[in-house]
Amino acid sequence: MSMRVGILTGGGDCPGLNAVIRAVAKSLMSQHDATVIGFEEGFLGLIERRSVELDWRACSGILNRGGTILGTHNRANPMSYFGAGGADVSDDVAAYYHELGLDGVVVLGGDGTMSICHDLSQRGMRFIGVPKTIDNDLMNTDRTFGFDTAVSVATDALDRLQTTGQSHSRIMILETMGRYTGWLALHAGIAGGADLILIPEIPYDIDEIVRVCADRESRQRFTIIVVAEGAKPRGGDMVVRELIEGSPDPMRLGGVSGVLRLALESRLDSEIRTTVLGHVQRGGSPTPFDRVFASNLGAYAASLVASDTWGRMVALKDNHLTSVPLEQVAHQTRYVPRDSTLVATALAVGASFGDPDLDLPLAALGDSVKYE
């Protein structure tokens, strides 16, 4: 009997999802004569018993497409299903899984999705995870697919904001996604030559931001600030846009750029403009890097399925594809270390993190530093 393998995309959409679906399905169908079942709208498809058999044609011509051909839903947690008043419907999900005769399910998602997989594993279901998030905040993998595309979008925005900032002698603030981590803002800030990079891991001092901007007013006449949505002042809190009940991650951040603008306007002479990229960072066609990376991850996930290896997430570690147990990923977040090479590099080229006490010479990291 040939294998029967499910596949679903959980959480928010992300460039590269279709590339992974394509790689997983085609690898299993061509090399192992497997039947691949796609669940519509992520875990919601498992809950509501909505699935479709994927064939070769369905998985062709989708490598360069953004989004996901299966659809996704970021509130469908079987352990607390919003459609049933927050009830645990995981037993019903497990029953449907077994009715379909699945050997297991390949799940594409971030930390919330991997946490759900780990919890459902306790109910006799088998999973392989593939690390997806533009935030790059999953534990035990050096990179997630979709991140490169999001960094490219944010960097392009910074390039464009710099030209108008220079032309009008303005302070331009760009707010990126990233939730509780600063990987996206940090990478884009370095790539886009930002003067100030504000991330959740390094609370900022508003007086230091004013000092940097005032100094640039007298010299360069413009300032570029990139701020992660989860950035916060010393002793302060993150800016919460809304709370969504029933979501694995109910807190939605956003609006820190507006708060920062109000704090700076009365203390500086320059005009200040804000731009919130929002879901622009999630959409569109994946970069060539993400297409290749997602394809590698998908093919490797298929190889784990073929070897009957379950309960693990595909990972990139020290430039090698490997896998790690789901419990080493579930309910955890990978933060930017204060002594990160990236932080040291940004400081070396003159960027500020809004912290007057932050000093991290590259030489202090030693002769061999980790490339991030």
**Assigned token pair, 24:** 């997983």
The answer to whether the beta carbons of residues 285 and 65 sit under 8 Å apart is yes
> What's residue 245's pLDDT?
64
Give the other-Cβ count within 10 Å of 161's Cβ. Answer: 23
In this prediction, residue 237 carries a pLDDT of 86
Contact of 173 with 263, CB cutoff 8 Å: no
**Whole-number pLDDT of residue 239:** 79
Give the bridge partners for 322, in sequence order.
315
Q: One fold for both 4-145+286-328 and 149-282+337-365?
A: yes
Given the residues 13, 111, 119, 135, select the one marked as catalytic. 135
pLDDT for 247 equals: 59
CATH number of 149-282+337-365: 3.40.50.460
Which residues, 6 or more positions from 138, have their beta carbon under 8 angstroms from its beta carbon?
A: 110, 111, 114, 131, 144, 313, 329, 334
C-alpha neighbours within 13 Å on the C-beta side of residue 242? 4
For 4-145+286-328, CATH number? 3.40.50.450
Residue 15, classified by CB atoms within 10 Å of its CB into exposed (0-12), middle (13-18) or buried (19+), is buried
pLDDT for the residue numbered 187 = 98
| Structure confidence at residue 371 (pLDDT) | 76
pLDDT score for 27: 97
Sorted by sequence, the CB contacts under 8 Å of residue 157 that are 6+ apart come out as: 174, 192, 275, 277, 280
The three-state secondary structure class of 213 is helix
Phi, psi (degrees; rounded to nearest 5) at 126: -120, 140
Whether 205 sits among the annotated catalytic residues: the reply is: no
Residue 238, pLDDT score: 78
In whole angstroms, give the CA distance from residue 88 to residue 80. Answer: 5
Domain ranges for the chain, please list them.
Answer: 4-145+286-328, 149-282+337-365
Per-residue pLDDT of the chain (372 residues; tens, 9 = 90+): 589 999 999 998 999 999 999 999 999 999 999 999 999 999 999 999 999 999 999 999 999 999 999 999 988 899 988 888 889 999 999 999 999 999 999 999 999 999 999 999 999 999 999 999 999 999 999 999 999 999 999 999 999 999 999 999 999 999 999 889 999 999 999 999 999 999 999 999 999 999 999 999 988 889 999 999 999 999 988 777 666 665 556 666 778 999 999 999 999 999 999 999 989 999 999 999 999 999 999 999 999 999 999 999 999 999 999 999 999 999 999 999 999 999 999 999 999 999 999 988 777 676 667 777
